[in-house]
Amino acid sequence: MRSRRDLLVTIPVGSLAGLSGCLDGDPPVDALDISLVDLRAPEAGLTSITIPVLIEVTNGADGDVPTPTISFDAVINGEQVATGQETVPTVHGGDDVRETVDITIEYETAGTGIVRSVEAESFELRLRGTVRSDGATVEFDETHRL
């Protein structure tokens, strides 16, 4: 089993979807990189299991990206298990922001194979979605296997 310390995946958001409208003064969302910094131990409850995912949003541009909203689908072993949305604080030019995103998988909607894979910490996690800020949008898609 891989150590959680070995996990550092970068999603070069701008390279996945062309320019998002930086002309007209829109924030430079295409300059954002989203990194999956860490996956924390899953937390099992009676009706669901939650995977805390630490993400880092880095702004490679000079301009600020005000309160970007990250909307995503979470796919484990090829099966969509959750959707979510996280709004992070303004990412100033050249800075980064870290946030924890909780991916909650409901037992009644996920197959037992998915739940067992998560409990065993042996699965493929794919996050795909969009980053939006003040009318500018860019897509991202990243997969990582534990």
Domain positions in the chain are 4-140
Whole-number Å distance between alpha carbons of 11 and 101: 15
Domain 4-140: top CATH class: mainly beta
- DSSP3 helix / strand / coil % (the chain, rounded to 5): 15, 50, 35
Task: Please give the chain's pLDDT, 146 residues, in tens.
Answer: 444 444 444 444 443 333 344 445 788 999 998 888 888 889 999 999 999 998 889 999 999 999 999 999 999 999 999 999 999 999 999 999 999 999 999 999 888 899 899 989 899 889 999 999 999 998 888 877 88
Cα dihedral sign, 96-132-99-116: negative
Q: Count CB-CB contacts under 10 A for residue 55.
A: 21
What b/e string do you get for 20-44 counting C-beta neighbours within 10 Å, with b at 16 or more?
bbbeeebbbbbbbbbbbbbbeebee
Q: How far apart are CA 129 and CA 141, in angstroms?
A: 6
CA-wise closest residue to 103 among 130, 74, 80: 74
